[in-house]
Each structure stands twice: as C-alpha cells, then as structure tokens.
Structure 1
Amino acid sequence: MTDTQVTWLTQESHDRLKAELDQLIANRPVIAAEINDRREEGDLRENGGYHAAREEQGQQEARIRQLQDLLNNAKVGEAPKQSGIALPGSVVKVYYDGDKSDTETFLIATRQEGVKEGKLEVYSPKSPLGEALIDAKVGETRTYTVPNGNTVKVTLVSAEPYHD
C-alpha cells in the first residue's frame, strides 16, 4: 500500500496477518545466517546460493513492509453499521447496464479480509467498480471505466454489513 487509506479487517484476518508478520520478523536471523554462509562459499559472482538467499531476503522484507503498512492502517472489526449504502466492508448486490436479471453479489474490501475461499467474491474499494460504488445508495446507478476503456453502468440493489 502506498497511501494511508484505512483498510477494514476482521479480527480473524488481523490476527492471521499479525502472526504472519511475527513469523517473518522472527525468520530474519535465519535468512541473514543463510546469506553469511553462502557468502563464505567463495566468488559471489558465480554463487547461486548466495543470490537465491539475497532474493529471498528481499521478498521477505517487502512482505514485512506490506504487512506493517496494512496493519498500521487497519480498522479491526469495524464493519459498516448501516445498510443501504455501499461502504468498505459491505456485501453488495448489483446489476449491470440495466439488466436486472443479471445480478452479482460481492464484498467491497481488500483481499486480506480472510473471506472463506469461494464463499464470496471480493472487489477492492480502490478498483474501478469499488470506487464507483463507494457511498452509493440502493437504487442508485453509477458508471465506471473498465481497463479496455469502455464505460459500464452499475446499479446498487442492496448493501449490507459483512458478517463472518
């Protein structure tokens, strides 16, 4: 995350991400020792083990920064209280381009919310669809631009607070 937008997380998701962060931080000395061991093997230009360990360290540090940023800017367990308005943490039902028979239901949230696999599709509030729907009221039609440049109309049918 490059900005300080608040992310809504369930307590379960927060705990899971915090445990992952703690494990990655605890693993730092292991990676450092691995790099040191590989460095002692000789010529670094031809030392695949050394370069692999450095790559692993870089990926781990990037994930640590991502998790720290996410957790520092998270609101835990604060699902929207009101129904009828699309907000982060809302389960919404919409239809597209005036076709009321073709509805889709999804959660407006980040992928880290911990929604059970296959239970509910998740759209980010930062996605074009998510941005278009934020603060929409039931019955309101909004438009958004898809990656190919086309404009799509979406109408909010319902919005309810998400519950595990």
Structure 2
Amino acid sequence: MTKEGADSLRDELKHLKMEARPKVIAAISEAREHGDLKENAEYHAAREQQGFIEGRIQEIESKLSNSQIIDIANMTNNGKVIFGTTVDLVNIETEEEVSYQIVGDDEADLKINKISVSSPIARALIGKSEGDEVVVRAPGGEVEYEIVEVKYI
C-alpha cells in the first residue's frame, strides 16, 4: 500500500470512530425512545448502519495492520518501474500520452490515473525502465507503449 493510501484509510478510520459511530449511537438511542422496537424502522435502520460502520472499522484496521506501506518518495529513482511509481507512457500507434501511478488494489481509481498493481498494464510495466517498449495484453487487444519517464513521487 502506498503512504497516500494508508493516510486515506487512517482519515476514514478517524471519521468513522470520531463522527459516524457517535452519530449512529445517538440515532439508536433516540429511536429506542419511540417505543416498540419490533415495528420501529428508524431503530432497525440505525442498527443496520451501526453494523456497516463497525464492519468497515474492522476492515480498515485489519488492512492497516497487515499491509506494508511503501513511501516511494524516499527511494532512489533508478528509472525502474516498481510499485508506487508514476509512469508516463506514449502509445506507439496513436502517440497518445498517458500517466499512471501503480498502487494497491484498494487504492486503484482510473479516474485519477491510479491503476492496480494486478492490472494488465501494471503487470506489463513492473520491472521495466525508462525508454523500454512494452506490450500490454488487454481485453481490447494488444497495445504497445513506450515508457517516457518513471517518477518516484
């Protein structure tokens, strides 16, 4: 997991513990005051939300405790593509330029150019260097890219 991804999870965990959990506890308490719990939709909705929050807290804590955090900015840039690097590519056929950061599965978001380390393009890039040409075998066919720059940011 990248340092940025770990920080994001820590922020979410803090929000869940400090804001969301107390709000849902207050909602459950308020719903209990309305009387019969068997037919109290507010109570059941609040309990369901509490279960979701507690499950997410456990999931985040587990991920943070079992993950290895990589801070790519503290590594020496030798031009090699590794987990956490940002890679500038040029499609050899169309000359279209694109930039991707290789991140963990949980952090991947194509809208902000973060691709999973297990994606076809990341698997093709890992271990390559600036100037190398790579062939990505994607569901839409093979695409050839040239690695223009590898950034350790």
Same fold at TM > 0.5 = yes
After superposition, the Cα gap between the structure-2 partners of 1:67 and 1:134, relative to the gap in structure 1 and judged at 3 Å, is same
- Give the unaligned 5+ runs of structure 2: none
Equivalent-residue separation in structure 1 for 2:16 and 2:48 (angstroms): 15
Alignment of 1:101-140 (within 5 A): 101-110=95-104, 112=107, 121-138=113-130, 139-140=132-133
- Give the unaligned 5+ runs of structure 1: 1-6
Partner of 2:13: 21
Q: How many residues align?
A: 145
Partner of 1:153: 143
Show CA shifts across 1:85-122 (max 9, x none): 221221101133x3262111122225759xxxx9x622
Partner of 1:75: 69
TM-score scaled by length of structure 1: 0.67
Amino acid in the other structure paired with 1:47: N
2:124–2:136 contact (8 Å) kept in structure 1: yes
After superposition, the Cα gap between the structure-2 partners of 1:61 and 1:127, relative to the gap in structure 1 and judged at 3 Å, is farther
RMSD (Å), alpha carbons: 3.1
Show CA shifts across 1:34-79 (max 9, x none): 3344245344453221122123213322331342233221415344
TM-score scaled by length of structure 2: 0.71
Q: In the alignment, which of 68, 82, 85 is matched to residue 87 of structure 1?
A: 82
Q: Percent identity?
A: 28
Structure 2 residue 42 is the aligned partner of structure 1 residue 49: yes
Amino acid in the other structure paired with 2:152: P
